[in-house]
Amino acid sequence: MITEVPGPRSRELLARRDKVVARGVSTALPVFIEAAGGGVVVDVDGNSFIDFGSGIAVVSVGNAAPRVVSAVQEQVARFTHTCFMVTPYEGYVQVCEALDRLTPGEHEKRSALFNSGAEAVENAVKIARAHTGRSAVVAFEHAYHGRTNLTMALTAKNMPYKQSFGPFAPEVYRVPMSYPYRWPSGPENSGPEAAAQAIDLIEKQLGASQVAAVLIEPIQGEGGFVVPGAGFLPALAQFCTDNGIVFIADEVQTGFARTGDMFACEHEGVVPDLMALAKGIAGGFPLSAVTGRALRSWTRPTSEAWAAHSAATRWPARRPSVPSPPSRRRTSPPVRDTSAMSCCPGCAPCRNSIR
Ligand SMILES: Cc1ncc(COP(=O)(O)O)c(C=O)c1O
C-alpha cells in the first residue's frame, strides 16, 4: 500500500463513475485497476492487492496471461469479426475440437459458441426442449444460472438477482438441493436423501415424461459454494437417463480446472448430456459454449437456431487458450448408458442417431 484506500486517483474516478454508470452495476472494492497479473491487481494509485476475485472465477490461467494476450494480438491484427455463420474461420472449429477433447465422455459431441454464461445456459435449455419436445425444466434450491429472463427464472435467490424484475419465464420447477452442511439427518445422508426428494417431487408434481431438462451446477457457486453429498449427481443423472431427460451441467463457474479436475462433474464420474461453459474458457474474453452429446435437435429447426451473431468474434481465431495439452484426450469415467433417451418423443428410428 502506498496511499490510503481508495487513493486520490481512485476517488476521482469513483466520482466520475457515480455520474454516468448505472447504480445497479455494483463494485466490491472501491479502487480502479490499472494492471493485473501473477495473482495481483495494481490500482491507479499504485497500491497492490492479492487477486482473490479472479474476475469471479474467470482468469483462471492468470490475468493478462502472456499466451492469451499474444493470441489475441495476433488475431485482431488479422480480422476482428466475420460472423461465423456468414464466413467461417478455423479458430471456431479449433475451440470446438478442444471442447470435444476436454469435456467428459467419449461419445460424439457438438459445440456451439456464444458470448456469456447466461446465453450458454439459455441455449442448452433450447436444445433440450427441441430434443425432447417437452417444456419443463427442473432447477435446484440455491441455484444461480445468470441474469437474463430465463436464467433469472432458473436462479433460486430473489435478492439481489430477481427482486422487481419479473415476470419470469414459465415452466421452471424447483427441487431440493443436496446441502450436506445443513442436512437435517447429517451430511452423509444428504446425497441419497436429497436425490430421492428431488426425484419424488419431479415424479409426483411434474411427471418425468413432461421434463425436458434437469439443470444443475455440479458445485453451486453464488448459492453458497455448496458441494453436494456423494451420490446426489449420479442418482440424478441416472434418473434423467431412465426417463429421456437431458441432464445439463452448468459448469460456467466450476469448469476449466476450477475445482481440482477439469470439470466438477468428473469428481463423481458423471457424464452430462450437455454442458454450459464460460468464464475460465477464455481468460477474460467474452466466450461461452454449449458442448455435449450430438443430439439430433442440434440441427433443428434452422441452421441459425443455436447461433449468436457476435459470438466469439473477440476470440483469437488461431490459437485458442482453452488449456489443451497436445495429445490429451480426456480419459473419462464410463459413458452413461443413454439407450433410454429418445431423439424425438416416440420416434424410435431416430434414437441416438447423430445429426
Ligand atoms: C453457475 C453459473 N451459471 C451462469 C452464470 C452466468 O454467466 P454470465 O455472467 O457470463 O452470464 C454464472 C455467473 O456467475 C454462474 O456462476
| pLDDT for 320 beyond 60 | no
Does residue 221 have its Cβ closer than 6 Å to ligand 1? yes
CA of 131 relative to ligand 1 center, distance in Å? 24
Pairing mode, strands 40-43 and 246-250: unpaired
Does residue 280 have its Cβ closer than 6 Å to ligand 1? no
Position 165 scores a pLDDT of: 97
> Phi/psi at 102 (nearest 5 deg)?
-85, -30
Q: Are residues 40 and 110 in the same domain?
A: no
CA of 229 relative to ligand 1 center, distance in Å? 22
Mean pLDDT, to the nearest integer, of 199-210?
98
Domain tally for the chain?
2
CA of 280 relative to ligand 1 center, distance in Å? 11
Q: Are residues 45 and 76 in the same domain?
A: no
Instruction: Indicate the average pLDDT of the chain.
Output: 88
Position 101 scores a pLDDT of: 97
Mean pLDDT, to the nearest integer, of 138-157?
98
Taking the C-alpha atoms of 279, 216, 128 and 284 in order, what is their torsion angle to the nearest 10 degrees?
A: 0
Residue of 327, 325, 353 lying closest to 339 (CA atoms): 353
Q: Are residues 14 and 87 in the same domain?
A: no
Note whether residue 341 is domain-resident. no
Q: Are residues 162 and 43 in the same domain?
A: no
Does residue 253 have its Cβ closer than 6 Å to ligand 1? yes
Number of H helices, E strands in the chain: 8, 10
175 bridge partner residues: 140
Integer Cα distance of 43 and 35 in angstroms = 7
**Residue 8: Cβ within 10 Å count:** 11
Does residue 222 have its Cβ closer than 6 Å to ligand 1? yes
Of 145, 155, 217, which is best to mutate to test ligand 1, by the most ligand atoms within 8 angstroms of its C-beta?
A: 145
Integer Cα distance of 352 and 355 in angstroms = 9
CA of 113 relative to ligand 1 center, distance in Å? 15
Domain that holds residue 29: 1-52
CA of 145 relative to ligand 1 center, distance in Å? 5
| pLDDT for 53 beyond 70 | yes
Where are the strands (E) in 79-196, listed by range? 109-114, 136-140, 172-175
Task: Give the CA distances from residue 149 to residues 121, 128, 152, in Å, rounded to whole numbers and listed in that order.
Answer: 11, 18, 5
Does residue 114 have its Cβ closer than 6 Å to ligand 1? no
Is residue 170 classed as helix, strand or coil in its secondary structure?
Answer: coil
pLDDT band at 296 (very low <50, low <70, confident <90, very high): confident
CA of 149 relative to ligand 1 center, distance in Å? 13
Does residue 321 have its Cβ closer than 6 Å to ligand 1? no
Note whether residue 347 is domain-resident. no
| pLDDT for 197 beyond 90 | yes
Note whether residue 348 is domain-resident. no
Residue of 343, 137, 100 lying closest to 250 (CA atoms): 137
Does residue 217 have its Cβ closer than 6 Å to ligand 1? yes
CA of 335 relative to ligand 1 center, distance in Å? 27
- The span from the first CA to the last CA of the chain, in angstroms, equals 58
Q: Are residues 149 and 266 in the same domain?
A: yes
Mean pLDDT, to the nearest integer, of 104-110?
96
Integer Cα distance of 66 and 38 in angstroms = 11
Q: Are residues 95 and 147 in the same domain?
A: yes
Q: Are residues 85 and 32 in the same domain?
A: no
Q: Tell me the residue type at 187.
A: P
Note whether residue 47 is domain-resident. yes
Alpha helices in 1-84 (DSSP H): 8-20, 54-57, 66-78
CA of 196 relative to ligand 1 center, distance in Å? 27
Those residues whose C-beta lies under 8 Å from the C-beta of residue 79, and which sit 6 or more positions away, are 89, 317
| pLDDT for 295 beyond 50 | yes
Q: Are residues 200 and 282 in the same domain?
A: yes
Does residue 255 have its Cβ closer than 6 Å to ligand 1? no
| CATH number for the domain harbouring residue 267 | 3.40.640.10
For 336-351, how does the pLDDT look when each residue is reduced to its tens digit (9 = 90+)?
444 444 433 333 333 3
220 bridge partner residues: 226
Give the position of cell 496471461: 65
Q: Are 273 and 243 in contact (CB under 8 A)?
A: no
Position 304 scores a pLDDT of: 62
CA of 106 relative to ligand 1 center, distance in Å? 26
Q: Are residues 48 and 84 in the same domain?
A: no
For 212-253, how does the pLDDT look when each residue is reduced to its tens digit (9 = 90+)?
999 999 999 999 999 999 999 999 999 999 999 999 999 999
Does residue 91 have its Cβ closer than 6 Å to ligand 1? no
C-alpha cell at 184: 437435517
Closest ligand 1 atom number to CA of residue 118:
11
Q: Which of 289, 306, 323 is the last residue of a domain?
A: 306
Does residue 251 have its Cβ closer than 6 Å to ligand 1? no
